Chain A
Amino acid sequence: MAEIKLSDLRKSYGRTEVLHGIDLEVADGEFIVIVGPSGCGKSTLLRMVAGLETVTAGSIEIAGRAVNDVEPKDRDIAMVFQTYALYPHMSVFGNMAYGLKIAGLSKSEIDERVQKAARMLELSELLERKPRQLSGGQRQRVAMGRAIVRDPSAFLFDEPLSNLDAKLRVQMRLEIKQLQRSLGTTSLYVTHDQVEAMTLADRLVVMNAGVAEQIDTPISVYEHPASTFVAGFIGSPAMNFLNATVGSNGASLDLTEGGSIALEAAELAKNGGRDVVAGIRPEHVETASSEKAQLTLHVTAVETLGADTLAHGGVNGPGTGFTVRLAGTAKVQEGDAVPLAIAPGALHLFERDSGRRIADV
Chain B
Amino acid sequence: MEKRVTFSHKALPYLLVAPQLVITFVFFLWPASQAIWQSLFLPDPFGLSSEFVGLENFRFLFGDRYYLESFTTTAIFSLAVTALSMSSALLLAVMADRVIRGATAYKTLLIWPYAVAPAIAGVMWLFMFNPSIGLIAYYLKFLGYNWNHVLNGGEAMFLVVVAASWKQISYNFLFFLAGLQAIPKSLIEAAAIDGAGRTYRFWTIIFPLLSPTTFFLLVVNIVYAFFETFGIIHTVTAGGPERSTTILVYKIYADGFVGQDLGSSAAQSVILMVVVAILTVVQFRFIERRVHY
Contact = CB atoms under 8 A, between A and B. Distances in A.
Nearest to A147: B193
A83 B194 contact: no
Interface in B256-293: 292
Contacts of A87: 187, 190-191, 205
A79 B197 contact: no
B49 interface: no
A85 to B, nearest CB: 4
A77 B208 CA distance: 26
A262 B225 CA distance: 90
Interface stretch (A95-103, A164-172, A250-258, A345-353): A95-103
B187 A73 contact: no
Given A85-B189, A89-B209, A102 B194 contact: yes
Contacts of B200: 102
Q: Is the interface of B mostly helix, strand, loop or mixed?
A: helix
A147 B187 CA distance: 14
Interface in A15-59: 50-52
Contact of A85 (B187, B208, B292): B187
B193 A78 contact: yes
Nearest to A98: B194
A335 interface: no
A98 B195 CA distance: 9
B193 A79 contact: yes
Given A87-B205, A98-B204, A102-B196, A81 B292 contact: no
Contacts of B189: 50, 52, 72, 79, 81, 85
Interface residues of A, number: 22
A78 B189 CA distance: 11
Say what secondary structure dominates the interface of chain A.
loop
Contact of B196 (A51, A52, A73): A73
Contact of B197 (A52, A73, A82): A73
B184 interface: yes
A89 B211 CA distance: 10
Contacts of B192: 51-52, 71-73
A5 interface: no
Chain B contact-residue range equals 10 to 19
B214 to A, nearest CB: 13
Contact of B184 (A52, A83, A150): A83
Interface in A126-151: 146, 150
Interface string B53-88: 000000000000000000000000000000000000
B8 interface: no
Contact of A88 (B191, B193, B196, B292): B292
Contacts, number: 57
Contacts of B186: 81-83, 85
Interface string A57-97: 00000000000000111000111011101011100000000
A85 B184 contact: yes
Contacts of B205: 87
Contacts of B193: 50-52, 72-73, 77-79, 99
From A51, A79, A146, residue with most partner B Cβ within 10 Å: A79
B292 A79 contact: no
A261 B187 CA distance: 57
A268 B193 CA distance: 53
Contact of A98 (B184, B191, B197): B191
Nearest to B194: A99
Interface in B175-207: 184, 186-187, 189-197, 200, 204-205
A85 B190 contact: yes
A127 B84 CA distance: 39
Nearest to B209: A89
A148 to B, nearest CB: 13
A242 to B, nearest CB: 44
B209 A88 contact: yes
A99 B187 contact: no
A277 B293 CA distance: 58
Contacts of A99: 193-195
B194 A73 contact: yes
A58 B148 CA distance: 63
A81 B190 contact: yes
Nearest to A47: B189
Contacts of A79: 189-190, 193
A88 B188 CA distance: 12
A88 B212 CA distance: 13
Contacts of A71: 192
A83 B187 CA distance: 9
Nearest to A82: B186
Contacts of B204: 98
A75 to B, nearest CB: 8
B149 to A, nearest CB: 43
Given A85-B184, A102-B200, A146 B194 contact: yes
Contact of A103 (B190, B191, B195, B209): B195
Nearest to B208: A89
A83 B189 CA distance: 12
Contacts of B209: 88-89
B106 to A, nearest CB: 21
Given A85-B189, A88-B209, A89-B208, 6 more contacts: A73-B194, A79-B189, A79-B193, A87-B190, A98-B191, A98-B194
9 contacts: A50-B193, A73-B195, A73-B196, A77-B193, A81-B190, A85-B190, A87-B205, A88-B209, A89-B209
Interface of B: 184, 186-187, 189-197, 200, 204-205, 208-209, 292
**What are the 3 A-B residue pairs with the smallest beta carbon separation, nearest first?**
A99-B194, A89-B292, A85-B186
